[in-house]
A and B are shown apart, each in its own frame.
Chain A
Amino acid sequence: MTHATVDVMRPPYPTERGLDVYNTKLGMWVFLASEVMFFTALIGSYIILRFGAPGEWARPGIVLNIPVTAINTFLLICSSVTMVKAYATVADGEGHFFRLRPGARLSERLDFGLKFWMLATIIIGATFVSIQVYEYLHLVHRGLLPSGVREGSELAELVANGTLPAATMGLFGSSFYTMTGFHGFHVTCGVISMAYLYFTKTLRGKYSQQDYRGIETIGLYWHFVDLVWIILFTIVYLI
């Protein structure tokens, strides 16, 4: 039996010299290195503020709605899976998931698979942001502001009766909204970029086993944003 070698990710797309990685992918890696430093600085500052604070830290279990966010976290992790499926469909030709009709050609199945998984990722990503917006609205309603606790609110009562520490609620509000807000901004950017790729490239059949640069590059970004969330969720909500 002879092995057919499939020329994966070879021209027609232009190969650059150098590292044998195309420019946008390398650019994304470099960008992510920079993002790592950004979130490290955010998280590091949170740790310093939290452990340097006089007295007790706000109790996240009381202020925040952990079950809802846990579900949201689960959703985001799922979106990483769907992203991988989108990538695997186009890169490795994993089309067996979709048997549209008996005898459908592989290329048809692949085409449908890519559209399906990308759309799924976009929808889950958008859901995550929506739930976060809901969470914010709810928190503001209960009285948590970036500047601290609103007078006369539900949380203000908890502060008054000693359930929550008065001294550090301001810092907690500032860092909570800043950290989760920057993450939400990243998810939003990801959703917009994926929607752009979906409408301009995927639907128009621009991706193939020879060229799936956009999917691979946005996939890197998306997994990074997921990973950061798992860390943020642990540090801000759970600990």
Chain B
Amino acid sequence: MSHVAASAAPAAFAFPATPRPRGLKSWVTTTDHKRIGLLYFWTAFCFFLLGGLEALVIRLQLAQPDGHLVSAATYNQLFTMHGTTMIFLALMPLSASFFNYIVPLQIGARDVAFPRLNAFSYWVFLLGGLFLNASWLVGPLFHAGSLSVAPDAGWFGYANLTERQFSPGPNIDFWVLGLQILGISSLAAGFNFIVTILNMRAPGMKMMRLPTFSWMTLVTQFLVITAFPVITVALVFLMFDRFFGAHFYVVQAGATPILWQHLFWLFGHPEVYILILPAMGIVSEVLPTFARKPLFGYTVVVYSGVLIGFMGWGVWSHHMFAVGLGPIGDSVFAATTMLIAVPTGVKIFNWIATLWGGAIRGTTALHFAVGFIAMFIIGGLSGVSHASPPADLQQTDTYYVVAHIHYVLFGGTVQGLFAGIYYWWPKMTGRLLDERLGKLHFWLTFIGMNLTFFPMHLIGLLGMPRRIYTYGPELGVGALNLTSTIGALLIGVSVLVFIGNLLRTRKRGAIAPNDPWGGATLEWSIPSPPPVYNFSVIPTVENRLPRWKTELHEPITDPPAVPPAPIHVPGGSWWPLVAALGLPVLALAPLTHTLWLAFLGAAILLFGVYRWAFEPFEM
């Protein structure tokens, strides 16, 4: 525990009053939401690079007809791990990095509601990611005859393809166990952030004064805590089938053949909103700041976000049009799918109207935000085009769907996240990123992604299926595929530029003042990076744009540089990490058919939780 000292004569104290804790131990035991945010960022970014590398191998394999860079079996592992990594290990945790770092600052809090649970979420995420990716290297341990036993049944792992009968190796075991571990991380973070946002707001921060990013975080977390239990059940069934001979997905034993599909997509569609809503929140922060105009129709943006959250539950069977659900089922889900495009479209108009007539500053963050709008429109349109079952029967399982998901996930989520990085990096590190390199990064990304993914619409409509490791020259899609591969390499270069930017500005970047952009929200009222206690005095908020002068309100005064009274800051804790370590050990038990590992894992977990419960830890 440390107390931040303050004195009646502040001048005697240099700011910040206490030195930041240093050293490895201080990071491993940290419960500070800001540090956990940075840990999330760097870990997720590494997984993003890994997932990107996998994608590049996929694209090289497909660059020409009859490619033979990798075998069909390896190709299956590559696309499965690419999808799983990008969704669960890169994009969700990159969003989580902003939830952690930014949300408490935006709502005027000193930390999240449950700081140790927050650390636990991070460690479980890290360990789950390592567990899943260990499958690349441990083939020999399972006498697999190859180095890699990575999962190979697609990111949606359809049962009964994933049953022991059809996937006998440990590949799917890694997947089914790894995803359950990661689910625990997401759920724990979900509980934490809902309570944080609802309960830890600064005085006066009513719900309708909450910054849009925090609002979208709240909606996202509600989706997390309701959608993840559903996939957990699906995974538990699969796990019991694979390890204990249960029959949940065994059609010969009388099971319903599409139970997995229903459970998975019941989770899967809310999941795509879990991926996009945070990016929508980021864009809704970046645009007003750089247009120097309040967000157009704040209330509408918030409510349409909430509406998307609800409607996201009613469209899952649009992933199953080819199953043959019958005319009624198909029609209902076609209608709901077309309807959900409405609140999405509403937001797009709000963003455009925010830019309209604004005093626009063309920063890199704004470039990415505008790029987000443009690309997301294209992705949304292709989405609506396969909302219609007859059209979808042509498109499903072809590269057309791959084009759709990448326009929304790369053009949308990834660009949104980059906008957030350029916007908040100065707050998180105290250094501005280089704007010239940033623009280069943006244009390479933008051109690269369109080169990569636009041809996929055509490739798909010309009939090339997805998840096929090669194709013949007579299909006539060689040139388009080559274009796509060139685009992918361009994206690779753009990521290198971004990494260069990160490294270059670490020591040499311009020092960030409290508020480099003239932002309206509370995070800009405190130093960059903020002191451990965030706010020397918790601000009182009177309107939605506390730091801007409006017709009715003067901007609030920023908190003093030195706390007028001592601030209690909870110290770190080892126990979240210890408890988290129990989970992968527990998962190793079924994987290796070793009973004592189950007891060991449970013991570690319980020991961690026990010590955690008995640890004095005051907020």
Contacts and interface: CB of A to CB of B under 8 A. Distances in A.
A41 B316 CA distance: 15
A66 B613 CA distance: 39
A17 interface: yes
Interface string A146-182: 1110000000000000000001101101110110000
B158 interface: no
A30 interface: yes
Contact of A31 (B191, B228, B236, B619): B191
Contact of A178 (B237, B613, B614): B237
B199 A147 contact: no
B201 A42 contact: no
Interface in A12-35: 14, 16-19, 21, 23, 26-27, 30-31, 33-35
B190 A23 contact: no
B236 A178 contact: yes
Nearest to B197: A18
Contacts of B241: 174
B201 A17 contact: yes
Nearest to B232: A38
A17 B254 contact: no
Contacts, number: 128
B71 interface: no
A102 interface: no
Nearest to B267: A41
Given A14-B619, A37-B229, A171-B253, A23 B195 contact: yes
B246 interface: yes
Contacts of A37: 225-227, 229-230
Contacts of A167: 253-254
Given A147-B245, A196-B613, A35 B229 contact: yes
Contacts of B259: 45, 48-49, 52
Interface in B112-132: 113-114
Contacts of A18: 198-201
A170 B247 contact: yes
Contacts of A174: 237, 240-241, 246-248
Contacts of B225: 30-31, 33-34, 37
B272 interface: no
Given A17-B200, A37-B226, A170 B256 contact: no
B229 A17 contact: no
B244 A21 contact: no
A16 B199 contact: yes
Contacts of B619: 14
B168 interface: no
A145 B246 CA distance: 9
Nearest to B193: A30
Contacts of A67: none
Interface string A37-59: 11001100100110011110000
B108 to A, nearest CB: 9
A200 interface: yes
A55 B228 CA distance: 32
A45 B202 contact: no
A45 B229 contact: no
B111 to A, nearest CB: 11
Interface string A121-148: 0000000000000000000000001111
B335 interface: no
Nearest to B113: A23
A49 B241 CA distance: 14
Contacts of B255: 49, 52-53, 171
A148 B247 contact: yes
B245 A146 contact: yes
A15 B436 CA distance: 48
A177 B244 CA distance: 11
A49 B247 CA distance: 10
Contacts of A148: 245, 247, 253
Contact of A33 (B226, B237, B614): B226
Contacts of A48: 256, 259, 262
B194 A168 contact: no
B258 to A, nearest CB: 9
A41 B229 contact: yes
B263 interface: yes
Nearest to A38: B229
B248 A17 contact: no
Given A23-B199, A34-B187, A147 B244 contact: yes
Contacts of B390: none
Contact of A147 (B192, B236, B246, B263): B246
A26 B254 CA distance: 42
Residue among B234, B236, B255 facing the most chain A CB atoms (10 A cut-off): B255
Nearest to A14: B619
Contacts of A17: 199-203
Given A18-B201, A34-B226, A41-B263, A170 B191 contact: no
B233 interface: yes
B548 to A, nearest CB: 23
B205 to A, nearest CB: 8
Contacts of B614: 200
Interface string B311-344: 0000000000000000000000000000000000
A27 B229 contact: no
A27 B193 CA distance: 10
B247 A147 contact: yes
Residue among A17, A49, A170, A171 facing the most chain B CB atoms (10 A cut-off): A17
Interface string B536-549: 00000000000000
Nearest to B228: A34
B89 to A, nearest CB: 22
A155 B236 CA distance: 26
A200 B610 CA distance: 12
Contact of B248 (A23, A33, A175): A175
Contacts of B191: 27, 30-31, 34
B186 to A, nearest CB: 10
Contacts of A145: 245
Contacts of A170: 246-247, 250, 253-254
Nearest to A192: B606
Contact of A27 (B195, B230, B245, B262): B195
B237 A168 contact: no
Given A18-B199, A27-B192, 19 more contacts: A30-B190, A30-B225, A31-B191, A33-B225, A37-B226, A41-B230, A49-B248, A49-B255, A49-B256, A54-B254, A146-B240, A147-B245, A167-B253, A167-B254, A171-B248, A171-B254, A174-B248, A178-B236, A178-B240
Interface of B: 113-114, 187, 190-192, 194-195, 198-203, 225-230, 232-234, 236-237, 240-241, 244-248, 250, 253-256, 259, 262-263, 266, 613-614, 619
5 contacts: A26-B199, A27-B113, A30-B195, A45-B263, A147-B244
Interface of A: 14, 16-19, 21, 23, 26-27, 30-31, 33-35, 37-38, 41-42, 45, 48-49, 52-55, 145-148, 167-168, 170-171, 173-175, 177-178, 196, 200
The 8 closest A-B pairs by CB, nearest first: A147-B245, A174-B246, A18-B199, A38-B229, A52-B256, A41-B233, A37-B229, A170-B247
